[in-house]
Amino acid sequence: MTYSPILIASGYPGWSFLKRTLTTQQANLTRSPEIQRDAEYFRARIGSVKTADALVSDRRLLKVALTAFGLEGDLDSKAFIRKILADGTLKTDALANKLADKQYAKFSAAFGFGDFSVPRTVLSGFPDEILQAFAARSFETAVGEQDGDLRMALYAQRELPALAGKRSSEDTKWYTIIGSTPLRSVVQAALGLPASTAKLDVDQQLAIFKDRAQKVFGASTVSQFSDAGKIEVLVRRYLVKTQADQAQVTTGSLAIDMLGQTSSMMRSWRF
């Protein structure tokens, strides 16, 4: 991607600047020639796409569609994506419903090829729906090329409130977080839980996440993250924790290097 966001620092200081300039920077990306060309192509052609085969056979349309759901890494997996789209999500044995990453189910449901006789691509508002997500994801990717932690923070800021607002049970919401690699990484770090938590039985993990959330945020629910203030606290805790971990690794590496240099000097001394 040719567009490069302006990031002045890493960690929470960088996040604070990014938040202040987010609207302007996202607008700049949307106006970039590459994004505009892809958006115009998608808007002009998606309404005539009525089947999974038709979408998968047009690489340029498929790139926009997959990027809108953070699945651009599957651009060359045509048979897999065709199956995801053709199966839909209404049947329990649909492929998207069997996968731990629920972005595939969202992707399939958004297009509706396998669920309805008339897909959602014909709806007048459909291009704007997908292109808005495409622009947001493209910006996150551009940020991630410079700072992966800030990209994760942007993802959490977008996805957690949406998950919090769903009508599913609190346990289901927690299982969604536990099963999502990026959301889990952010929430786990913000709660101060070790990476080894992932090795435990999933029901044990659920109990640990809920208990820790109660202690840190005053509630054990995912629904509390409908509150923008709590999202900000969570992101701050995540960025502070990851920056501290990185500093610790750097300090450890420097210490090892210094020990190695000292050892080499001592071996070179003649007594």
Domain assignment present for residue 152? The answer is no
**pLDDT beyond 80 at 262:** no
Mean per-residue pLDDT, 93-112: 94
Rounded to whole angstroms, how far apart are CA atoms 85 and 110?
A: 9
Rounded to whole angstroms, how far apart are CA atoms 75 and 67?
A: 9
User: Do residue 120 and residue 174 come from a single domain?
Assistant: no
Residue 271 pLDDT level (bands cut at 50, 70, 90): very low
**pLDDT beyond 80 at 251:** no
Rounded to whole angstroms, how far apart are CA atoms 67 and 20?
A: 25
Range of the domain at 251: 170-268
pLDDT of residue 175: 94
Q: Per residue in 128-138, is it b (16+ CB within 10 Å) or e — as a string?
A: eebbebbbbbb
Rounded to whole angstroms, how far apart are CA atoms 186 and 178?
A: 11
Structure tokens at 253: 């590496």
User: Do residue 78 and residue 135 come from a single domain?
Assistant: yes
**pLDDT beyond 90 at 241:** yes
Average pLDDT, the chain: 92
pLDDT of residue 100: 83
With tokens 């208990």, the residue in question is 211
Rounded to whole angstroms, how far apart are CA atoms 154 and 224?
A: 18
- Taking only the tens place, the pLDDT of each residue in 159-195 is 999 999 999 999 999 999 998 899 999 999 999 999 9
User: Do residue 125 and residue 187 come from a single domain?
Assistant: no
Residue 101 pLDDT level (bands cut at 50, 70, 90): confident
With beta carbons less than 8 A apart as the criterion, state whether 239 and 153 touch. Answer: yes
User: Do residue 16 and residue 133 come from a single domain?
Assistant: yes
| Most distant CA pair in the chain, distance | 88
With beta carbons less than 8 A apart as the criterion, state whether 153 and 186 touch. Answer: yes
Rounded to whole angstroms, how far apart are CA atoms 10 and 269?
A: 42
Q: What is the CATH number of the domain that holds 40?
A: 1.10.3700.10
Residue 267 pLDDT level (bands cut at 50, 70, 90): low
**pLDDT beyond 70 at 5:** yes
**pLDDT beyond 80 at 244:** yes
User: Do residue 19 and residue 90 come from a single domain?
Assistant: yes
Residue 205 pLDDT level (bands cut at 50, 70, 90): very high
Domain assignment present for residue 56? The answer is yes
Mean per-residue pLDDT, 233-256: 79
